[in-house]
């Protein structure tokens, strides 16, 4: 679709089915009177986040088998569900905060790969099993919330966030060991790993010299390292 279509400000129905389209221009979001967008039969891989603010649209026809963004978990709720997800992505571009909790996402959202300037990322209450190495690119990230997923390991690349990350919460997952990347997070103030399957706390925990809160409740830890005593700023240690 040509960008100039955005000038058709009174258009209510746009039928562009069965063509060779691969993308929808951002400018389409300026068509505030649009109620029906029909682009099925194309090869559109992603809808632009700004489209989420086209709240007049009640009919959306798109070939879901090609669509990667928004992800499949949002499709079942229809137009409003998909547009709610898109609005969150759109706002994150300006607010540097992305909240994608309670979407049952099975994989790290592809949409988020381009938002490396985020300071806050909330992916709680999803179905994530794996975090991709790309998390190491979020070098402005201050607060990372990953509670209530199925994550088995935190990638080593998270250590690249050592200059920014102050809070990491990964409670209620399936983590079995604390990877060395976490001990590179020397700015970390709060670390929550409760309700996992962790059996030991490595001696390297002494590197987390800024840590004030460490939650290891409901794990399988049998002993603690002597190096834990080095953490002079630690105020809360939870080991129930």
pLDDT band for 39, please (50, 70, 90 cuts).
very high
What average pLDDT score do residues 60-86 get? 94
Closest CA to 55 of 78, 84, 76: 84
pLDDT at res. 220: 95
pLDDT, greater one: 216 or 111: 216
Q: In whole angstroms, give the CA distance from residue 238 to residue 224.
A: 12
What the block records as the tokens of 60 is 């959306």
Dihedral-angle region of residue 235 (phi above 0 means left; psi in -120 to 50 means alpha; beta otherwise): alpha
Residue with tokens 């201050």: 142
Q: In whole angstroms, give the CA distance from residue 190 to residue 170.
A: 11
On the question of a cis peptide bond just before residue 70, with omega within 30 degrees of 0, the verdict is yes
Residue with tokens 């990347």: 181
Q: At 38, phi and psi to the nearest 5?
A: -120, 105
Closest CA to 116 of 149, 90, 93, 88: 93
What does DSSP assign to residue 143? E
Measured on CA atoms in the order 220, 226, 227, 233, is the torsion positive or negative?
A: positive
Q: In whole angstroms, give the CA distance from residue 157 to residue 173.
A: 19
Closest CA to 56 of 37, 75, 34: 34
Pairing of strands 36-38, 13-15: parallel
For 59, other C-beta atoms within 10 Å of its C-beta total 12
Contact 170, 196 (CB under 8 A): yes
Q: What is the pLDDT of residues 175-203, one digit of tens each?
A: 999 999 999 999 999 999 999 999 999 99
pLDDT band for 112, please (50, 70, 90 cuts).
confident
Q: What is the pLDDT of residues 71-81, one digit of tens each?
A: 999 999 999 99
Find the distance separating the first CA and the last CA of the chain, reported in whole Å. 59
Average pLDDT, the chain: 95
- E strand or H helix that includes residue 61: strand 59-61
């Amino acid at each position: 679709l040509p960008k100039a279509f955005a000038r058709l400000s009174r258009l209510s129905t746009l039928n562009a089915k069965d063509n060779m389209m691969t993308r929808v221009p951002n400018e389409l979001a300026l068509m505030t009177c649009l109620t029906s967008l029909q682009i099925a039969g194309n090869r559109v891989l992603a809808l632009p986040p700004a489209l989420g603010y086209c709240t007049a649209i009640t009919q959306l026809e798109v070939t879901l088998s090609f669509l990667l963004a928004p992800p499949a978990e949002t499709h079942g709720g229809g137009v409003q569900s998909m547009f709610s997800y898109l609005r969150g992505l759109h706002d994150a571009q300006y607010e540097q905060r992305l909240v994608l909790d309670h979407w049952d996402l099975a994989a790290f959202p592809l949409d988020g790969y381009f938002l490396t300037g985020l300071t806050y990322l909330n992916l709680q209450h999803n179905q994530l099993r794996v975090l991709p190495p790309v998390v190491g690119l979020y070098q402005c990230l201050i607060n990372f919330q990953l509670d209530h997923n199925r994550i088995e390991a935190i990638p080593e690349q998270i250590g690249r966030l050592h200059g920014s990350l102050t809070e990491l919460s990964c409670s209620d997952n399936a983590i079995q060991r604390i990877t060395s990347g976490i001990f590179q997070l020397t700015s970390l103030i709060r670390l929550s790993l409760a309700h996992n399957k962790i059996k030991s706390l490595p001696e390297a925990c002494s590197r987390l010299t800024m840590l004030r809160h460490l939650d290891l409740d409901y794990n399988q830890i049998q002993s603690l390292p002597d190096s834990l005593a080095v953490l002079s700023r630690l105020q809360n240690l939870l080991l129930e």
